[in-house]
Chains A and B, each alone.
Chain A
Amino acid sequence: MPETHSEPHLQHHFVALEQQQEASTLGMWAFLITEIMFFGGLFTLFTAYVSAYSEAFAEGSRHLDLVLGAVNTVVLIGSSFTMAMAVRSAQLGKRKALLGFLALTTLLGCAFLGIKGIEYAHKFKQRLLPGPAFRVDSPASQHVQLFFSFYFAMTGLHALHMVVGVGLMTWLLFHGWRGRFTPTYFWPVELSGLYWHFVDIVWIFLFPVLYLVARHS
C-alpha cells in the first residue's frame, strides 16, 4: 500500500516530488519529439514538392499576405517572451506577475489566431481554398493549388496547436489564480512554457518556408 505523503502535489505512485518532476519533464520532451516527427512528415513532403514545382510554389507564395504573416511572427515572438516571464514569475513565487504574464500570453495567442482567421477569410474570398471551388489564373494552377493544400494543412495544424496552447494557458490561469503554484511546484507552468515555445518555433519555420523561401523568383 502506498505510504502517506506530506507533499500535497505528490502523486501516490512516485517516491519523491523530484522524481515526479523529472518524469513530467522527460514526458514533455518525448511528446515534443513526437510533434517534431508529426510536422516533420509535412515538411518533408513540402520540400519534395517545392523542388519539383518551384515556379508554381513561388506563385502561390506571392498570393500570401506578407504583412499579416510578419505581424503574426512578431506577435508570437512576443508571446514567447511573456511566456518565459510567466515561468520566471512562477519560479519566484510572484503570483500577480504570473497571472499578468499568463493573461498577456493568452491574449497574444488569441491575437495570432484572430489574424490567422482574417488571412483565411481573405483566401476563402479569393477562392484559394483547395477543392472544386479553387480558382487561380495561372497555367500551373494545379500546382498552385498544391501549394495552398500545404498552406492550409500546415498552418491549420499549427493553429490547432495554438488553440490547445490557449487552452493550456486558461488552465494555468485558473490554477494560478487559486494559488496552486509555488516556487517548489511550478513545473506545470514550465512544461506548458516548453510546449508554447515549441509551437512558436514551428511557426518560425513555417513563416519563411511558406511566405518567403518559395517567393524567391
Chain B
Amino acid sequence: MSTLATARPANYLSVDPGVMSWLLTKDHKRIGILYLVSISVFFLVGAVSAAVIRLSLFTPEGALLHGQAYNKMFSLHGISMIFFFLIPSIPAVLGNFLLPLMIGARDVAFPRLNLLSWYIFVLGGASTLIAATTGGVDTGWTFYTPFSSIYSNTNVTLTAVGVFITGFSSILTGLNFLVTIHKMRAPGLSWSRLPLFVWAHYATSLIMILGTPVVAITLLMVGLERGLGIGLFDPALGGDPILFQHLFWFYSHPAVYIMILPSMGVVSEVIACFSRKRIFGYEFVAGSSLAIAVIGFFVWGHHMFVSGQSVYAGLVFSLLSFLVAIPSGVKVFNWTATLYKGSVAYHAPMLYALGFIGLFTIGGLTGLFLATLGTDVHLTDTYFVVAHFHYIMVGGAITGFMGGLHFWWPKITGWLYPEGWSRAAALLLFVGFNLTFFPQFILGYNGMLRRTYTYPPEFQVLNVMSTAGASILAVGYLIPVIYLLWSLRYGQAAGPNPWGATGLEWTAPSPPPPGNFEKIPVVTEEAYAYSTMETRRA
C-alpha cells in the first residue's frame, strides 16, 4: 500500500497544479475544494465570534463586550455561519464533489456556471467581510425592519448586498444540481436506485431555486430603503414591517432545510455503509426529504406567533409546523431500524452519524415546544430558541458535515486519517456540544432573552457551564483540522474503497481522475446492495 503513496496515478489534484488552473477550473471536484477552503474561512470567522460571545457571557454584566460591540459580534456570528458556512457547507463542498461521481457523470450539467457560482460566493463573502471590518453590522442575521432600514447606524447596506449576491451563488448551485440529477444519471440509474444523498440534494435544490430569489429581492428592498429612502417596510412612510418578516421567513425557514437535508443525506450513506445494510424503508426516507422540502415552504409564520399577525394565521402555521415534523421523525425511526441486525462498525463517520441521530432528535423534539402556540409565546426570543436551533444546525447540520467530510476524505484526498484521533474528536464534540447548548434550554425556559449582553445574576451558573462546553467544542473542532491536514502529508493511501461501501463514487480511484470514470458505468442494482456486494479488498 505505502508504495502507492509515492507514485499515484494522475488525478484531479495532480494534473495541472498551477494556481491559475485552479482559479479557472471547471472540474466539479476542484470547485468543491475551492468551496471547502472558502467556507472554512467563514467557519473560522463564525467560530471565533462565537467564542468571544461565550467568553463575554461568562459574567452577568458582560465580561468582554457591551452594547453595540456585542451586537456586532452576534450579527457577525449569525451572518457568517448561516449564509456563508451552513447553507453552502454540504451542498457546495460535498455535493459538488460527489453528485457527478454518485450518478456516474463526468461533471455537473453546467461546469462554467458552477465556477461562476463560486466566484459569486467569493464576491458576496468579500462584501460582507468588508462590511464587517468597516463599521460592522448590528442587525443580527435577520435584518428586521425598521431597525435595519432606519435605526441601525452600521454598515447594513453592504452586508445586505453581500448576502444578496451570495444568494445567486446558492440559486445557481441549486439549478445546476437539479439539472444534473435529472439529466446526467448513468444508464440504469433510475430514480428508485439513487443514493439518498442524491435525493436529499434534489430536495435541497428545489428549496434553493424557489426560496432564495424571495430573500434576495427582500434584502434588495431593505438596501434600497436604506440607500434611497424608499419606504416599503417603513411604517413612517406607510410601509409594513411585518411584511418584511413574512418575506424574510418565507426563505429563511426553508433555508433551515437547505442546511439539514444534505446532512440527512450524509447520515443515510454513512449508516448504510457502517451497518452494511440497505437503508430501512428507502422509499420513505427519500420521500420524506421531498415532503420536508414542500411542507417546509408553508410553515414560515411560526417565527411570528407573537409578531401581531392574526391568531388564525398562527393557528394554520402551527398546524403545518407539526406536519413538517412527521417526515423528520420518519427518517430518525428508519435510520434506527437500519441498525437492526446490521454489522455495525464504529469508525469516525459512523460516530458522527449516530451523534446526529441523537442531537437531531433532541433538536427536533424541542422544536415542537416552539410549534405549540401556547408555549411558544413564552419561549420565543429566549435562549430556548437559541438552544433549539443550535441542536439542529450544529448538532444536526455540522455534525453531518463532519461525518461526511470524514467519510469521503479518503476519496477526496486519497489519504487516510488516524482512526483513534478521529474517534476521540467525534466523542469530544458530542460531549462539548451538549454541555454548551443543553443548559441554554433551561436558561430560555427561565426567561433569559436572546441577543442580550447582560443577564440576571441567577443565570450565571448555567452560562458558565455553557461557556465551559464551548471551550471543549473549540478543542473538538481543532483536533480534526490538525489530523486532517496531517493526513495530507503522512496519511496512508486510502485505495478506491477503504470502507467497503457501495455507490459509484467508490468505484473510481481515490482521488478520482479529472473525468471521474474510464468509462461511464452502467448501474444494474439498487442503492446499498451490501449483501450482494462481493467482498472487496480493504
Contacts and interface: CB of A to CB of B under 8 A. Distances in A.
Contact of A34 (B100, B171, B240, B514): B171
Interface stretch (B17-25, B50-58, B175-183): B175-183
Contact of B209 (A12, A30, A130, A142): A30
B106 A13 contact: yes
A15 interface: yes
Interface size class for chain A? 35 or more
Contacts of A40: 213-214
B231 A146 contact: yes
Interface stretch (B217-225, B357-365, B429-437): B217-225
Contact of A153 (B178, B214, B230): B230
A142 B231 CA distance: 9
A19 interface: yes
Given A13-B105, A33-B209, A153 B224 contact: yes
A13 B237 contact: no
Interface stretch (B88-96, B107-115, B118-126, B263-271): B107-115
Contacts of A42: 217
B240 A48 contact: yes
B209 A145 contact: no
B1 to A, nearest CB: 25
Given A1-B518, A15-B520, A19-B184, A145 B212 contact: no
Contact of A26 (B182, B213, B216): B182
A19 B217 CA distance: 33
Contacts of B513: 1
Contacts of B230: 130-131, 149, 152-153
Contact of B238 (A35, A132, A146): A146
Contacts of B229: 130-132
Contacts of A35: 213
A53 B238 contact: yes
Interface string A178-212: 00000000000000000000000000000000000
A65 interface: no
B178 A30 contact: yes
Interface string B203-217: 000000111111011
A23 B218 contact: no
Interface string A33-64: 11101111110110011001100100000000
Contact of B109 (A27, A33, A41, A149): A27
B175 A34 contact: yes
A38 B216 contact: yes
Given A2-B515, A153-B221, A37 B214 contact: yes
Contacts of A23: 109-110, 179-180, 182-184
Given A41-B217, A146-B232, A153-B221, A12 B106 contact: yes
Nearest to B215: A41
Given A33-B209, A130-B230, A41 B247 contact: yes
B110 A27 contact: yes
Nearest to A15: B520
Interface in A139-155: 142-143, 145-146, 149-150, 152-153
Interface in B181-203: 182-184
Contacts of A31: 175
B10 to A, nearest CB: 9
B107 A13 contact: yes
Contacts of A27: 109-110, 175-176, 179
30 contacts: A1-B513, A2-B106, A13-B100, A13-B106, A13-B111, A14-B184, A23-B110, A23-B183, A27-B176, A30-B209, A34-B175, A34-B213, A37-B211, A37-B213, A38-B216, A38-B217, A39-B217, A40-B213, A42-B217, A48-B243, A52-B240, A130-B228, A130-B230, A131-B229, A132-B229, A146-B239, A150-B232, A153-B221, A153-B230, A153-B232
Interface of B: 100, 105-111, 171, 175-176, 178-180, 182-184, 209-214, 216-218, 221, 224, 228-232, 237-240, 243, 247, 513-515, 518, 520
